Amino acid sequence: MIRNKNILFFWVSIIILLIGSSCNTTKYLQEGEKLLNKNKIVIESDKKIKNKGDLKLDLADYHKQVPNDKFLGLFRTRLWFHYKNSSPSDTTKWDNWVKRVIAEKPVIHSEKVTALTAKSMQSFMQHNGYFNATVDFATQKKGKLAYNYCLSSRTIYV
């Protein structure tokens, strides 16, 4: 009985991996485009910051680009639906419903938008008592994916 469960788990895992690899949405990107995969906020300070987690949550609201949702944390199925129904010939009621309700447009990484995000975060922090706050950003690119890191430093709470 246990052996059968292990075999079933193995085959279900293989099927999920095959489906996931066939749904690779980065293959639809144009040359030079990077799909935004993750935003991360890093806070460095000489002094201890109270409620650091709350501050990160507040700063997260200032992200101007939010990565596409992942189904079960693994697959960008809504993005896949966008690409599969983006042809001009897809005009049926079903295709239009999928585009409107299920599909999600890709979030293409932009350095300008990331710089605006850092500027907004810095302004928020300075207006909320972190007078010496500076926010810089870095982008790590791997293949056709981009990862944004917003780094806040020299924050002093008054």
Per-residue confidence at 20, pLDDT binned at 50, 70, 90? Answer: low
pTM score above 0.85? no
Which structure tokens are listed for 86? 């983006």
Q: Is the pLDDT of residue 18 over 60?
A: no
Measure the CA–CA gap between 81 and 85, rounded to whole angstroms: 6
114 and 147: one domain? yes
Tell me, yes or no, whether 11 lies in a domain: no
As separate numbers, helices (DSSP H) first and strands (DSSP E) second, the chain gives 5, 3
Domain that holds residue 44: 35-67+110-158
129 and 85: one domain? no
Per-residue model confidence (pLDDT) at position 22: 46
75 and 63: one domain? no
59 and 118: one domain? yes
Q: Is the pLDDT of residue 50 over 60?
A: yes
Measure the CA–CA gap between 21 and 100, rounded to whole angstroms: 25
39 and 52: one domain? yes
Question: Identity (one letter) of the amino acid at 65?
Answer: Q
Query: pLDDT tens-digit profile of 95-138?
Result: 888 888 888 888 888 889 988 998 898 888 888 887 888 888 88
Measure the CA–CA gap between 155 and 158, rounded to whole angstroms: 10
Per-residue model confidence (pLDDT) at position 74: 67
44 and 119: one domain? yes
Kindly report the number of other CB atoms within 10 A of residue 142's CB atom.
Answer: 9
101 and 76: one domain? yes
Average pLDDT of the chain, as a whole number: 78
Residue 21 burial (C-beta neighbours within 10 Å; 0-12, 13-18, 19+): exposed
76/94: higher pLDDT: 94
